[in-house]
């Protein structure tokens, strides 16, 4: 059941990531082509919007990477430990990661609210509110990672390659 | 003292197997909290750090590399390289060095380069009687060229953190990259003679022309990147975007190893790979924010000037520290940890930050090969289904050669700085 939830969840996130990256590439190159080919019609917001797409794709990718055990880590000490000690260490690292992501989600949300309160906007003609276009990506990404880690824990898995089987 | 505790805490977390972004983030957040600095500000710093147009180049170059790797381009470049040097003694080893040099000018990543080349070359070398450790060593060491020969993802990250010109860094990597390729070719020739490896057959004139013509579309990509950047017609990010689109078109329409139906999945896959690095970058920037505010760099500058440390002594000590760090940490982590700490020291010691960037990259290359945490070693042993010990045995002679190369790069700054200074002015 948990594995099925994880699989569907990751598939939806992966599809969104693909769409966001292609949108980013299209927007960015479209803006660049206009700038070079027809400077009069050039737009000043293409780079900015492409960056928002990539920031949100990154935020979503965090939890997919967690489910696939692909967050980069090192295993200096793990190799020499017994399987029991590895398991205990894996649990501790998992709890630390969970706590850290939850903390970043909370402070990220505060950053979002602060930016919204200041009505912080981009410098382009779009005047995009930075609160939801940029800062919201951090708490959303971190909250998704927390939720994914909880389901992973229920499925008996960790979030790094070495953490598999924890 | 607090700062040292923060650094040690971060290292301990990494050693215990915590994801690198967590180790960097926890250390920075705890230390900022202890110093009474606002943590909401820390959250803003981490996300704002990647809010830069230059940063867009990272996923675009990773996307280009992914299509290069899976789109049949590696095989075509190998065929072309074999037409040039395959008939010499130990020809496949030389093919590996030449093909990785060309592929490095497309991919920007060491692991992708080693993976793309290793998939084809290791089985071919073993089938032709080359020792497996030699095959693993040659591919592993040549693969490191991916981050030295531009475009290089590591140089983009260094440029972002150190606020240095990425086009200048790219040019600074050209001459060292070619010298490293020549050094690796010499090591291959010496080992081939020692092990009495066979020579390949010289291809006919018609076959030579066919293979090179077939490689031309693939070689168009690095040429377009360079022409775009250095004629001033395109920025680094625009060139990365063009490289991503061209690699898709060439892989689908010219070499036809992947179809349109694969494009979406491969694009998402590339973004995931880029995101694994982005997460580390976000929290490395937060770590750098703490380090800078903690006064560690200022203390280091005072200490270095107080003891009268000369630039050569400083670089020697730093190389030794980075070599040791590279044995135990991911190469990207070495770059992201060392840069903010060391950067303020460079002007005081008269060291050019572009030169230092290349020294850092060469240290990262060695880190990809040094056990126990040499990423290329794991990639190669996984591709060849060989024990890690064979990969380690294979890379040892190349590591020795690369340490000599590192000394050259460290103490002869002109090797790195000549080309960018000539193009952009000193």
Q: How far apart are CA B299 and CA B322, in angstroms?
A: 20
Q: How far apart are CA B91 and CA A53, in angstroms?
A: 46
Q: How far apart are CA B326 and CA B332, in angstroms?
A: 9
Buried b (16+ CB within 10 A) or exposed e, B221-232: bbeebbebbeee
Tell me whether 0.95 is exceeded by the ipTM.
no
pLDDT value for A160: 60
Q: What is the pLDDT of residues B184-231, one digit of tens each?
A: 999 999 999 999 998 888 999 999 999 999 999 988 888 888 888 888
Nearest neighbour of B19 by CB, restricted to A28, A76, A160:
A160
Question: B207, B196, B199: which is closest to B87 by C-alpha?
Answer: B199
Tokens of A89: 């260490």
Using DSSP, state whether B413 is helix, strand or coil.
coil
Q: A164 falls in which pLDDT band (50, 70, 90)?
A: very low
Q: For the purposes of burial, counting CB atoms within 10 Å of the CB of A18, is it exposed (0-12), middle (13-18) or buried (19 or more)?
A: buried
A108 touches chain B (CB under 8 A): yes
pLDDT value for A165: 35
Percentage with pLDDT > 70 across chain B: 100
Name B342's Cβ contacts closer than 8 Å, sequence gap at least 6: B297, B300, B318, B356
Q: What is the pLDDT of residues A90-127, one digit of tens each?
A: 889 999 999 999 999 999 999 999 999 999 999 999 99
Largest CA distance in chain B: 73
Nearest neighbour of A74 by CB, restricted to B26, B53, B328:
B328
Q: Which of residues 10-49 of A touch B (CB under 8 A)?
A: 14-15, 17-18, 20-22, 24-25, 28-29, 32, 36, 47
Cβ neighbour number for residue A106 with a 10 Å cutoff: 16
pLDDT value for B308: 85
Q: B1 falls in which pLDDT band (50, 70, 90)?
A: low
Nearest neighbour of A61 by CB, restricted to B25, B241, B275:
B275
Provide the mean pLDDT of chain B: 91
| Minimum distance, in Å, between the CA of residue B163 and any CA atom of chain A | 19
Question: B17, B182, B205, B197: which is closest to B97 by C-alpha?
Answer: B182
| Minimum distance, in Å, between the CA of residue B120 and any CA atom of chain A | 25
- Give A-chain residues touching B370 at CB under 8 angstroms: none
Q: What is the pLDDT of residues B291-341, one digit of tens each?
A: 888 888 888 888 888 888 899 999 999 999 999 888 877 788 889 889 988
Question: B282, B29, B40, B50: which is closest to A112 by C-alpha?
Answer: B40
What average pLDDT does the segment B158-170 reach? Answer: 94
CB–CB of B129/B140 below 8 Å? no
Q: A57 falls in which pLDDT band (50, 70, 90)?
A: very high
Nearest neighbour of B329 by CB, restricted to A28, A57, A74:
A74
pLDDT value for A163: 42
Q: A166 falls in which pLDDT band (50, 70, 90)?
A: very low
pLDDT value for A85: 87
CB–CB of B315/B27 below 8 Å? no
Is A36 within 8 Å of B13 when comparing Cβ atoms?
A: no
| Minimum distance, in Å, between the CA of residue A20 and any CA atom of chain B | 9
Nearest neighbour of B43 by CB, restricted to A55, A64, A107:
A107
Q: Which of residues 20-39 of B touch A (CB under 8 A)?
A: 20-22, 25-26, 29, 39
Report which of residues A161 and B367 the model is more confident about.
B367
Q: What is the pLDDT of residues B43-83, one digit of tens each?
A: 999 999 888 898 899 999 999 988 988 888 888 999 999 99
What average pLDDT does the segment A25-45 reach? Answer: 93
Percentage with pLDDT > 90 across chain B: 62
Task: Report the residue of chain B nearest A63, measured CA to CA.
Answer: B272
pLDDT value for B331: 84
Q: Which of residues 112-141 of B touch A (CB under 8 A)?
A: none
């Amino acid at each position: 059941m948990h594995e099925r939830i994880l699989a569907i969840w990751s598939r939806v996130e992966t599809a969104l990531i693909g769409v966001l990256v292609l949108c980013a590439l299209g927007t960015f190159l479209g803006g660049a082509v206009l700038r070079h080919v027809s400077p009069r019609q050039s737009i000043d917001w293409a780079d900015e919007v492409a960056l928002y797409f990539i920031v949100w794709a990154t935020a979503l990718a965090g939890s997919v990477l967690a489910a696939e055990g692909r967050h980069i880590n090192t295993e200096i000490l793990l190799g020499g430990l017994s399987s029991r000690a590895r398991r205990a260490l894996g649990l501790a690292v998992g709890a630390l990661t969970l706590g850290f992501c939850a903390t970043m989600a909370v402070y990220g949300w505060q950053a979002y609210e602060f930016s919204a309160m200041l009505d912080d906007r981009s410098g382009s003609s779009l005047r995009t509110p930075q609160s939801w276009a940029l800062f919201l990506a951090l708490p959303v990404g971190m909250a998704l990672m927390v939720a994914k880690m909880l389901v992973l824990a229920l499925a008996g898995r960790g979030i790094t390659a070495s953490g598999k089987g924890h | 003292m607090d700062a040292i505790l923060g650094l040690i805490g971060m290292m301990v977390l990494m050693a215990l197997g915590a994801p690198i972004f967590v180790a960097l983030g926890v250390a920075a957040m705890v230390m900022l909290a202890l110093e009474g600095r606002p943590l909401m500000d820390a959250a803003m710093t981490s996300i704002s750090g990647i809010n830069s147009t230059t940063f867009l180049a990272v996923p675009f170059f990773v996307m280009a590399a992914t299509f290069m790797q899976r789109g049949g381009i590696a095989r075509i470049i190998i065929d072309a390289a074999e037409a040039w040097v395959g008939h010499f003694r130990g020809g496949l080893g030389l093919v590996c060095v030449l093909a990785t040099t060309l592929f490095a000018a497309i991919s920007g990543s060491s692991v992708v380069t080693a993976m793309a080349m290793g998939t084809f070359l290791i089985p071919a070398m073993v089938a032709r009687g080359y020792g497996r450790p030699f095959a693993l060593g040659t591919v592993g060491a040549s693969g490191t060229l991916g981050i030295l020969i531009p475009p290089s993802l590591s140089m983009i990250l260094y440029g972002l953190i150190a606020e240095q010109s990425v086009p200048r860094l790219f040019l600074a990597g050209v001459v060292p990259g070619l010298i490293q390729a020549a050094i690796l070719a010499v090591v291959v020739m010496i080992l081939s003679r020692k092990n009495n490896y066979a020579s390949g057959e010289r291809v006919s004139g018609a076959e030579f022309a066919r293979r090179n013509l077939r490689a031309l579309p693939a070689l168009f990509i690095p040429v377009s990147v360079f022409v775009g950047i250095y004629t001033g017609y395109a920025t680094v990010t625009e060139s990365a975007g063009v490289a991503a689109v061209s690699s898709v078109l060439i892989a689908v329409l010219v070499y036809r190893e992947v179809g349109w139906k694969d494009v979406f999945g491969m694009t998402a896959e590339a973004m995931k790979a880029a995101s694994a690095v982005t997460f580390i970058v976000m929290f490395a920037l937060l770590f750098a924010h703490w380090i800078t505010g903690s006064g560690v760099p200022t203390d280091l500058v005072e200490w270095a000037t107080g003891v009268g440390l000369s630039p050569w002594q400083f670089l020697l000590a730093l190389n030794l520290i980075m070599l040791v760090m590279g044995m135990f940490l991911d190469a990207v982590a070495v770059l992201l940890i060392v840069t903010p700490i060391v950067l303020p020291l460079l002007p005081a010691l008269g060291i050019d930050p572009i030169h230092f960037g290349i020294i850092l990259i060469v240290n990262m290359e060695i880190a990809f090969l040094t056990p126990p945490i040499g990423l290329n070693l794991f990639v190669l042993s996984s591709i060849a289904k060989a024990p890690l010990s064979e990969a380690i045995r294979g890379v040892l002679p190349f590591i020795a050669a690369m340490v000599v190369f590192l000394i050259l790069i460290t103490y002869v700054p002109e090797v790195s700085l000549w080309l960018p200074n000539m193009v952009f002015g000193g």
